[in-house]
Chain A
Amino acid sequence: MNAPDTSAKRWDNLARNRAARLARAERLASGCIVPSEQIVQLLEAVIEPGDRVCIEGNNQKQADFLARSLIKTDPSRLRDLHLVQSVLALPEHIDLIERGQVSRIDFSFSGPQAARLARLVESRKITIGAIHTYLELFARYFVDLTPRVALIAAQAADREGNLYTGPNTEDTPAIVEATAFKGGIVIAQVNEIVDKLPRVDIPADWVDFVVRAPTPHYIEPLFTRDPAQITEIQVLMGMIAIKGLYAEYGIKRLNHGIGFDTAAIELLLPTYAADLGLKGKICTHWALNPHPTLIPAIEAGFVESVHSFGSEVGMERYTAARSDIFFTGADGSMRSNRAFCQAAGHYACDLFIGSTLQIDLQGNSSTATKGRIAGFGGAPNMGADARGRRHASPAWLRAGREGRGDIAMPRGQKLVVQIVETFREHMEPAFVERLDAWDLAATANMELPPVMIYGEDMTHIITEEGIANLLLCRTPQEREQAIRGVAGYTPVGMARDPRMVENLRDRGIIRRPEDMGIRKSDATRDLLAARSVKDLVYASGGLYDPPRQFRNW
């Protein structure tokens, strides 16, 4: 038999292409260091038309200098780019599309640019591959959306190109791993170049070029909620969550969304929950960014462990000083990792709770509104049952028993909770017959309406009217009435069948505050462990250093 002829087929095209790109860039760098004034030429040298490009950024840190530099490149040379990145949050991301340099995008979140993006999609200036969750997009980096060029952000580099990403490590490891090990090019913007890094987060041989940005990369303090803005209704809903859910199921491992509703829960732990004797019994292990509003609970000894997606501006000294709680390196500073924390939130947590804008009668919830393509971020990974989960916990087993009834094979379920006031500001109802997501999908030619949490994953809804336990509903009609039954005086709530709702209440599917022994009039802000940002600073022993916009001192 003849040996197969392999001479015609080359197997190192990526490596040779990479070498050609590096050769074009050689004159621009000394070692791996590129002067900031050469950055536009560097980008033009290493990026080719049609490349998949990832500009690092999340809702926290941003490779903003590299994004600004990319829109200075020659559009006739750098064109047909395919952006594959977590967020389209900077104006420059959208500018690139408007300049005609980008033809396709795959992303997760575009909150700040949602309206501009929707206009571009409607005028067919851009094709969206898909809107992913963060974990889903990272997964595709390793399958069919591997970046050719990654533009990343780090706190510091040494002269060899080792990077320190520190508390805001975030997405960097996932992006660099996929790019560097598939023949791609990695360019890092850093705030400073130093002789010795505190620790190495990304090794130098995964990084091709380092540029010192003229200004430090931007970080948004997205997870700071000023306790002064928490309302009595949010306190009431927090009491309902703690007494009616966390205590009932014995929730120890959990993730909280961003928002004042969940901030209220965090601030009620050292007061209301402690008075209920729940310390050590609930909320011990978290997949959570270092929320400043968690400080009082940590100081009260409620919390044993917190792993974080990213960091939070001003929490650096506090997290470093609480290394028993947070994941910290040998140098003492925290390390976050979005991919791992998303996995932790999906598989290792018994409960996710977050807020939303709209919930329909099947329990689907969405933050999509007409004329805005905002995407998902990471919430759907937290807010979904982990079908692959194989380890048990009391909370998970109880939810499984409630949801699956008496089936032969024991199996648990994650608790996925939405916490909303029945009316948002301007008397916008949070409960609707039909999600705006349908209209958005139609106008933006999306294959799927952008649903944040599917009804089949949602287990409980908390409003100021009480809790609806959707696990216990046995028919679609019961489910609908359970949702109407906590929808208050919204049109959806007013259209309830009062007899059926009372029946659901008798069966414990709907529980009112009084059914749980919660007196509404006890819901005052005096229950909050901190009522201002300054209270948080005092609670931290002066370690928390809030950003300027949150200070009044």
Chain B
Amino acid sequence: MSRYFTRVIAGLEPIPENVTERALLLEFADVNHVFGRLALVAGDMVSEKMQSVLENGVTRAAYDHHMLHNEKERLERAFVGSGIQPILLKGGAYVALGLEAAKGRRVSDLDILVPEQNVKEAEEILLAAGWNFDESAAEEYDQNYYRKHMHELPPFRHSARFTILDVHHRLLPPTSRLNINNKPFFEAAMPLVGSFLKVLSPQDLIIHSAIHAFADGTFETPVRSLIELNLLLNDLNPDEGLALVERIKMIGAEKPCAYAFGLLAKVLDSERADVLLKELGGVPSQTVLDWFVDRLNGNQTRKSTKAMLYLRSHLLRMPLYKLLPHLVVKAFKRIGAKPHPVRLPEIQ
């Protein structure tokens, strides 16, 4: 069912006629964070009632995009004159570039990439502009963990607007076994029209998306990641497509990209991904690819699968001896963890 629903949301199959299937499709899209995308694909081909339900997704995506444009302008203001040109990443970049992958997409956080030598200065600039370290990471242990082992500063939250900002200085942590060359990302970054912020090159957008989905420990949104990768890949012209494989090899991202293309070929029948996968020499492990398919199918009863993926992703991020203390501390913290309160609207 999940493969079928994913294909519907990717626009490869028509919206089902059966009401129960439609209801399940809506819930699938909601749980998998692609409700706005489904609204776009369904358009006015569905009943008025279904359009009205889907409108909720359109409203939320519109709010996020609006927020993002505003935050982008705030970032420009904060960094002007500093000589630092942050690179917008992920959803923020798709929205700023107006890519197909942005349409209907929710963007809850901003992610930016700055060169490692500028991190300290970027931190000071952001603190001066009203960004503070978020409560969830304000504890000393978490602060140290982020700074020492991760590829980002602890998350910032703006003190008045409450938006969340992640500042990265590399795409995977320095302790990661997957050895990714970060320099080419900075070198190929392109100016964003009408702004002094930058964005990754079209090929690098795909590579980063693949790294994020398949090597970055984020397995929470497999359906969204897959649909996003498919749309990004469709945006490449044939020449850019040819250059992609060379780029992947140069950066050293063969593994996550192979899984990305493998899954795109398997689930969305993407011929483009199939060709790229062959160029890359196929997926490193069929078992791992099957795990991803399993995950996509929401096979929740196979808890071990999820656990293995979680461990696997962390193994890619840092050597085991560094990993264990973190997991132990995390496990203990979870026992006392409280759910985040629902934030009520604010007025200034």
Q: Do A and B come from one complex?
A: no
Q: Which residues of B contact A (CB under 8 A)?
A: none
